[in-house]
Structure 1
Amino acid sequence: MNISFLKRTLSRKNLMAITGLFLCFFLVIHFLGNLQLLLPADQAADSFNHYSKLLSGNIFIKAVSYILYLSIIAHAIDALVITIKNKKSAGKYAFDNRKKVSKWYSRNMGILGTVLLIFLVIHFKDFWYVYKFGGLPLDEHGNKDLYTIVINAFSSWWYVALYVFSMLALGYHLLHGFKSAVRTLGLYHPRYARYVEVFGVAYSYAITIGFSVIPIFVHLTHFGL
């Protein structure tokens, strides 16, 4: 295999690993913030809207948000470039039948990533864009009423279904992505490999279930079956 191609691929994989782990960290922060939606309605509205204002008005948070946007773009573009290059090189070099030794989700990271990218576009349009540029009404404390927007979005069962489906795609993406990122960066020491794998699986399940429960809970408590 061409050495320069291998070096470029490894470099891109390093970038994808770094951005991927940063996004894993962000998911935890985002999930902790969304947990406020599980509070009683009167408390949830005040808490969630205040939290949203805090995120939009803090300089440090704004800086982190720009890193987030760049990480999402870099991760998506990098994954696309690596996938295209790997497909082009697949016909030139011999390789093992991966179906015998790999999970289906590890062979379909591109499909899972595409599902997540579509979801992110919808998610940003419905919440981030509306909050930034949509002229939201204010709550009784003078904060933008993002809580009402979220509740209205989850009033539709199909939107909840789309959200949960996307979280399942995220979960499978994380099952392979977390371990792959750690290994790519050389942090996958044999002595700790089992712990890393267990943590990655537990993290993937926790994020998937946690994010899925929230829209289901909101839909059922506000709008019933």
Structure 2
Amino acid sequence: MSWFSNFLTSSIGRKVVMSLTGLFLIVFLVVHLVGNLQLLAGDGGKAFNLYAEFMTTNPLIKTTSYLLYAGILLHAIQGWALWRKNRKARGAERYAVKVNKVAGTNSFAASNMGWLGTIIFVFIAVHMYQFWLQMKLGATPMATYDGKEVKDLYALVSTAYENIGFVIFYVVSMVVIGYHLVHGFQSAFQTLGINHRKYTPFIQGLGKAYAILIPLGFAVIPIVMYLRG
């Protein structure tokens, strides 16, 4: 298995791992947004709480969630390793600038992927502590729907979004994620060899639309809930 470990620690291997885990996380964000938009249903949290109860008790989804956590860590570790290696190897030019010239991606996003990724990792850590860990520690109130008692995660989220500081932090983090995605989306396909003059313009357009619409969808949620408050 030495060839495999050597591959994973090589620049090419790290790029492939970054691409695959990145695409997995891109798909996850769509699913996560669809679920989170139920926070705006205006039903006191029923739709969101029942959705969250299903997502946290279904065995298949729970297994997928563990793959997600592993994917986030692997994506971050490989990203940092690749970023540091390229900074040392290319100095002022950096790998990201070279990619930007080839792929035509956003120069700011391409040249600051390491810093953007670090900010996103901090956001994920805060987000997990604020919601996931509180749920696991049992610090979540309960709600009953049709005789079924479930954790009232809506109350937890609603309380968090009463804090304007947290709302601003969340919205700014979505802007950072948008910048990260505008480069990462296209770069992932290019690394995997999906790079053709017939399809690349479509992928680039889709990547830009995704990088705007998905973070915007997430950012709207805390703003609306704060204004409703």
TM-score, shorter chain, exceeding 0.5: yes
1:187 Cα deviation from its structure 2 partner: 1.2
Consecutive unaligned residues of structure 2, counting only runs of 5 or more, are 1-5
1:9 maps onto 2:16 in alignment: no
Consecutive unaligned residues of structure 1, counting only runs of 5 or more, are none
- The alignment partner of 1:139 has SS state of strand
1:44 Cα deviation from its structure 2 partner: 4.5
Task: Report if aligned partners of 1:36, 1:44 keep a CA contact under 8 Å in 2.
Answer: no
Distance change (3 Å), C-alpha of 1:96 and 1:216: closer
What whole-Å deviation, never above 9, does each CA across 1:8-44 have from its counterpart, x for those lacking one? 101110000000000000000000000101111xx24
Match of 1:105 in 2: 109
| One-letter amino acid matched to 1:13 | K
Distance change (3 Å), C-alpha of 1:10 and 1:99: closer
1:177 maps onto 2:184 in alignment: yes
Match of 1:201 in 2: 208
Instruction: Supply the distance in 1 between the matched residues of 2:68 and 2:51 (Cα, whole angstroms).
Output: 18
What whole-Å deviation, never above 9, does each CA across 1:148-203 have from its counterpart, x for those lacking one? 00000000111000000000000000000000001001112221111111100011
Task: Report if aligned partners of 2:53, 2:150 keep a CA contact under 8 Å in 1.
Answer: yes
Aligned equivalent of 2:120, options 81, 94, 116 = 116
Query: How large is the RMSD of aligned CA atoms in angstroms?
Result: 2.5
Instruction: Supply the distance in 2 between the matched residues of 1:59 and 1:97 (Cα, whole angstroms).
Output: 43
Q: Structure 1 runs of 4+ off > 4 angstroms?
A: 93-102
1:140 Cα deviation from its structure 2 partner: 2.2
Greater RCO (Cα-Cα under 8 Å, separation 6 or more): 1
Match of 1:82 in 2: 82
Percent identity, please.
40
| One-letter amino acid matched to 2:117 | G
1:88 Cα deviation from its structure 2 partner: 2.1
Distance change (3 Å), C-alpha of 1:97 and 1:145: closer
User: How many residues are aligned here?
Assistant: 217
